[in-house]
Amino acid sequence: MTTRKRWVKWGSLGLLLMFLAGCGLVTLGLTQNFSVTHLGDKAKHAMTATSVQEANKQAQRRAARGQTEAFDYANTSQLTPLTVARYGLQELFGKSSYRAVGELRVPAVGLDLPIGVGVSDAVLVRGAGTLKVDQQMGDGNYALAGHYMTAKRILFSPLAGVREGNNIYLTDKQQTYRYQVTRVWVTNRYHVEVIDDVPGKKLVTLVTCATAKRGEQNRLVIRGELKSVKRVAA
């Protein structure tokens, strides 16, 4: 075999391997996105007024015992296909202890996610997570965090399209709380005061990374004010 033919052969093989690797990465990405969506949808479908009450009681008991590690954002890592697969397997084999305490919807950007207690990976792989131990819907500043992903339609990524005047809905399956967005801004990750209560205000605050870039230092913040509360029909 001539030298030229060898180069052509190895060059073709290299291109084939690159193509297969690219297909593999695309498949992993699609599988991750599907699994994240599936986990969130399953959590929402399993949620009832009774299950929410029980989940809140469990969270209150843990807080009373000083077990607040679920709220330590430093323990939260960027999602990977392996992380997502692990939680998918836990769900499949009935090993998951996740229970939603509510649902978050922003119709203008197609966001519809379960709300879990704290910001652990098990919570944020499914949807939104509460940032404070004792927060309650419709009172104070109800603060939620979520992942910003490269896929623009999952988790908190759609928040990039939120504008002032959009509605944000929270529900605990007993009441539905409608907030109207009053401010959208980007701030440094260390400006944690954005989740503090504001005297005389009933707010919701949504926080996510400003981009999907690894190590992103800035945070996108969505702030809304409570406009109405309606009882959920039985």
Question: Can you name the residues that pair with 184 across neighbouring β-strands?
Answer: 222
Report the amino acid identity of residue 6: R
Task: Write b or e for each residue in 71-86: b if 16 or more Cβ atoms lie within 10 A of its Cβ, otherwise e.
Answer: beeeebeebebebbee
Is 147 catalytic? The answer is: yes
Question: Can you name the residues that pair with 171 across neighbouring β-strands?
Answer: 103, 176
Is 45 catalytic? The answer is: no
Q: What is the rounded CA–CA span in Å between residue 112 and residue 145? A: 14
Q: What is the rounded CA–CA span in Å between residue 188 and residue 148? A: 15
All residues at 6 or more sequence positions from 217 whose CB lies less than 8 Å from its CB, including other chains: 188, 189
Determine which one of 38, 45, 147, 191 is catalytic.
Answer: 147
Q: Return the active site residues.
A: 147, 209
